[in-house]
Amino acid sequence: MMQLRCLKFRTARIVRFSSLTIKLLYVFFLYFISTMFLFSCQPKDAAEPAASELWNVSAPEPYALKIPDKFSKNVNLPADNPLTVQGIELGRMLFYEKKLSGNNTLSCASCHKQELAFTDNKRFSLGIQGIAGTKNSMSLANLLWTNRFFWDGRAASLEEQALQPIQDPIELHQSLEQAVQKLQATDIYPSKFKLVFGNEKITAENIAKAIAQFERTLISANSPYDKYLREEYKPTDLELRGIELFFTHPIPQARLRGGNCGDCHLQITTAGDRNGFNGFHNNGLDTDQSLNIGLQAFTKNAADRGKFKAPTLRNIARTAPYMHDGRFNSLEQVLDHYDQHVRISETLAPLIREASNEPFPSPSEVKLYLTPQEKQAILAFLQMLTDEEFIKNPKFATPFKD
Ligand code: HEC
Ligand code: HEC
């Protein structure tokens, strides 16, 4: 009797056990199928090849650049520096490489942090000795569509730009010869330069070319605003009003109210068809620009005094403080500037000088007269420009483990 009961108990347990196994198998099967499905759905280039696989080739592989929908096809890609998969990866390593600084403590990424849309959150960036410069770090996004770099436009290409911060005494502060020597002495770089540029002797020119290749892939095109343009996102009423105001030049006589921003910040949509110095303006920050003359420093033309690059407004909610000297801490302060505090000087942009929502503004002042609700709407639009996928894209993050 005892035995029988025990046997019964045993069989029951086996039955229970096996039904649990079946359930587990079933769950495992579902998991297996769904992961298979997920992987097969990912675009090919989203899966990063393991580092060894990437470098285990006999020649660099051409990189298939995708121009996002609604973006201009007119990109700045120099013929002597075509994008390759390995060139971009080498550029990414160099962008995060502290050996490019005199005391091995900073890299490009120290002042251009991905989570802050490649800015830092300092008014003035600190160089290797902890000494502050005089300019606010610039966001790096969609650089393929611009051909004048720095606040004062002094670099005409990313290749030319990249060598400046390395040598700048208050940035990375290192001679190009030293930078080259340090990389040459490593185990990792010579063979990679050999693969990408055909020569294992590293040169400053090739360092710049690789970094420029990486920078050209920093494309931001997935903000809610892009999705709205592609009809993948339905904006709120406030956002819609913000879009309208942002792109409208006010004509009070026709009762057309506007924020007048798109006149200079069009590159949000076309990503910078305004090439060259057309994109440089004096937006009324100062009456006297003797501290920083901007574009005039480069062109030596008095008409360019106080003109600065109108930077991309992509991810602008992440890149405070604002303006070439980081004088504003918030977007509210920026809007207040354009609305009530524009300072008049000889080179003030005509587009700003002429814009007001008042039919009869006093000739001695330049004010927009936006309502608090209108400012809220423009702010809501600026928030729409944050591209989380860009900020979190693992392809732009450090390739190093430290
Ligand atoms: C110490 C901080 C610092 C470091 C390090 C640094 N940058 Fe910058 N970067 C800045 C600042 C500040 C500006 C604006 C400077 C100016 O206009 O004079 C800038 C501007 C730029 C621009 C111009 C963007 C535009 O839209 O015109 C690019 C590109 C850039 N940096 C790339 C790099 C690269 C590549 C490196 C590494 C080789 C690097 N930066 C290292 C602070 C830094
Ligand atoms: C006449 C051209 C012009 C107009 C109109 C204009 N801007 Fe600007 N904007 C600029 C320039 C040039 C700069 C950079 C100025 C500087 O730093 O000296 C700038 C800078 C900014 C910045 C800071 C960017 C950064 O990375 O620090 C924001 C934000 C901004 N503008 C938003 C707006 C908004 C919102 C409007 C409309 C209310 C507007 N702008 C109208 C030319 C213009």
Query: What residues have CB less than 8 Å from 5, skipping those under 6 apart?
Result: none
Name which residue leads in pLDDT, 19 or 4: 19
pLDDT at 215 > cutoff 90 = yes
Q: How far is the CA of 177 from the centre of ligand 2 (A)?
A: 38
- Is the per-residue pLDDT at 47 higher than 60? no
Measured in Å, residue 194 CA sits from the centre of ligand 1 at: 27
- Evaluated on CA atoms 300, 302, 306, 308, the torsion sign reads negative
> Mean pLDDT of all residues in the chain?
87
Q: Is 310 in the pocket of ligand 1 (CB under 6 A)?
A: no
pLDDT tens figures, 154-187: 999 999 999 999 999 889 999 999 999 999 999 9
For residue 138, how far is its CA from the centre of ligand 1 (angstroms)? 6
Assess contact for 322 and 334: CB atoms under 8 A: yes
Other C-beta atoms closer than 10 Å to the C-beta of 121 total 15
Residue 37 pLDDT greater than 70, yes or no: no
Percent of the chain predicted with pLDDT > 90? 72
Tell me which amino acid residue 187 is: D
* pLDDT for 40: 39
Neighbours of 326 (CB within 10 A): 20
> In which band, very low, low, confident or very high, does the pLDDT at 74 lie, cut at 50, 70 and 90?
confident
**Cα 221 to the chain's mean position, in Å?**
10
Note the maximum CA span of the chain.
110
91-131 pLDDT, tens digit each? 999 999 999 999 999 999 999 999 999 999 999 988 888 88
Higher pLDDT, 35 or 216: 216
Smallest CA separation from ligand 1 atom 22, residue: 150
Per-residue pLDDT tens over the stretch 237-283: 999 999 999 999 999 999 999 999 988 887 765 555 455 678 899 99
Our mutation pick for probing the ligand 2 site, out of 122, 125, 220, 283, counting the most ligand atoms within 8 A of Cβ, is 283
What number does the ligand 2 atom closest to the CA of 321 have? 27
* pLDDT in the model for residue 28: 52
> Ligand 2 centroid vs 361 CA: distance in angstroms?
22
* Nearest partner of 385 among 166, 139, 182, judged by Cα: 139
End-to-end Cα separation, the chain, in angstroms: 68
Ligand nearest to the CA of 289: 2
Is the pLDDT score of 27 beyond 80?
Answer: no
Q: Is the distance from the beta carbon of residue 137 to the nearest atom of ligand 1 less than 6 Å? A: yes
pLDDT for position 128? 80
For residue 31, the model assigns a pLDDT of 52
361 vs 194 pLDDT, higher one: 194
Burial 41-73 (b: 16+ CB within 10 A, else e): eeeeeeeeeeeeebbeeeebeebeeeeeeebee
pLDDT (0 to 100) of residue 275: 56
Q: Given the CA of residue 326, which atom of ligand 2 is nearest to it?
A: 27
If you search the block for the tokens 């989570």, which residue do you land on? 115
- Ligand 1 mean position, distance from CA 118 (Å): 9
**Residue of 88, 68, 87, 79 whose CA lies nearest to 272:** 68
Of the listed ranges 81-95, 311-325, 350-364, the one predicted with least confidence:
350-364
- Say which range, 151-155, 274-278, 358-362, has the weakest mean pLDDT: 274-278
Reported as a single tens digit per residue, the pLDDT across 294-351 is 999 999 999 999 999 999 999 999 999 999 999 999 999 999 999 999 999 999 999 9
Burial of 309 (0-12, 13-18, 19+ CB in 10 A): buried
